[in-house]
Every structure is written in structure tokens, then in C-alpha cells.
Structure 1
């Protein structure tokens, strides 16, 4: 049995299949999912699971080179931003890039997978760019 906290089979499989530069989006419940992009829908109800717990769990298995946020998230501080900043201060997220929310949605078209949470605060989304462990 696995030792890491991530139990969701589809999400664990998606992370295991990543190559350098692949994109994983952790999304709030309202972010549109482009056609052709795999969706792992974890949302059960508003706030479950929340963005921060989902991010922490994904980071327990994923090596991240950099991350992308919509700059609108910085204008309305919320728990998602606090969680992102905590992981960023630990060095878990690599470099930060900011885009307009409309550009962030365009970036989603390049994602290998989008992970939908139950988060219902606007702009609570992050694009994680896969790194390598060597």
C-alpha cells in the first residue's frame, strides 16, 4: 500500500504519468474545463474538498518547477492564496508567473489534467508545471 497521503487512484495515476513541463491545474468548482482536457472531479459540495488541502496532497507526490496564477487572485486575499504562499515559502512551487484570468483559462487548454475541487471562491486556481527530481 502507498505511503503518501494521496489515495485517489486517478489523480495518483495522472501525477505518475507527468513529464517535465506538463501542466496540472487545481481548480475551483467554477473554472471551465476545455474539451479534450482530462478532468478529475473531486468536488462533492461547496468547500469539499477545499483548495488548500487538495494542493497540499498533490504536492506530496508532484515535483513542481513553477506555478501560474491569475493576478486577480492577488487582489482578493483568501485561504487559497494563503495556502499557495505557504507552499511557495517552503520552496514547493518553484517560480511564479502571473496571467490575467482570461489568459489563465487559455492556459488550461494545454493542461494534461484539471483537478476540480469544491472550492467556491473566485480565482482559486493554480497551474502547476511539472519539474524533475534529478
Structure 2
């Protein structure tokens, strides 16, 4: 059996250029990307639409391929996924391991984090709570979740350090 390869030119380029701590959002078809969406996506986040038709591809088809060909260390999912889509949560945890899957509240935390992603990959998935954020990494100590979820962590770290000095 041959190894999976990304044939989608832009996805392959994206995965090959991800650096430690950068994130990508893999979205179901219900995740809006326009400025008129219920929760608009930051215009600085690149949108890569891979949807072909309803249900193609699904997040659970794309996710294992991205995990295999890329260097990822963790994933964020919504707290709702545990109840609303347990098979998807099992898939994500099977890839990441139990210590590297992190749950966030759907609104606003999960949607806030998508605006810090390098890219937003739109699938044709109509599953409920199928969205997953992958965190790029490599064999090293994991990046603390607080750093990933708090856009002001670096300034807060500086303040803490200056108080110690």
C-alpha cells in the first residue's frame, strides 16, 4: 500500500509550510466564511475550499490524511463534539492521543481561535460539530494550551517576568 500524498496543490503547499504553533481550521460545510456570516471569519485567514458536493469530502476523510502527511502535535474541538458527534471526537483523539485533544466552548472561544489560524479549509461535510483545529508541531514539549487560546499571552508573560525581576 502506498503512502498518502496530498494531490491538492494549495493544501500540499500549506501543510509543507506550517511551523510550530501555527494552526489550520478544518471546517464542515456549515461554517460561514463571508463577512455576512453569523460569525464572520477574519479576512486575513486564507480560505481553501475543497468541497465538491454535499458530503464530499468530509472532515473525517480529510483529517487523517492531513495528520499523516503533516507535522501536527494537537487538536482543538468543541465541547459539544463529545455529545453531538462522538465518532468524530474518537477519530480526533485516535490521531492526537488523549493528552493532545483540547476542548473549547463553541462560542466564543472556538470561533475566536479560528481567526488565529493560518488557513480555513472548507469541506462538504454536513456533520454536526465536525470542525477541528490542528496545531502544527514536532517532537518537542507541547505548546501550552493557554498560549494557543489567549492572543495576549506574550504580553502577559512579559508582565509576569518583569514583576519577578
In structure 2, the gaps of 5 or more residues are 34-40, 141-165
Q: Which residue of 2 aligns with 1:116?
A: 122
Q: Which segments of structure 1 move beyond 3 Å, counting only runs of 4 or more? A: none
User: Contact 1:28/1:119 (CA < 8 Å) preserved in 2?
Assistant: yes
Alignment of 1:1-134 (within 5 A): 4-33=4-33, 34=41, 35-89=43-97, 95-102=100-107, 103-132=109-138
In structure 1, the gaps of 5 or more residues are none
- Select the structure that is richer in strand: 1
Q: What TM-score do you get using the length of structure 2 for normalisation?
A: 0.71
Q: What TM-score do you get using the length of structure 1 for normalisation?
A: 0.86
CA distance in 1, matches of 2:5, 2:87: 21
CA RMSD of aligned residues (A): 1.9
Q: Is the partner of 1:110 in helix, strand or coil?
A: coil
* 1:14/1:42 CA distance change after superposition, 3 Å: same
- Select the structure that is richer in helix: 2
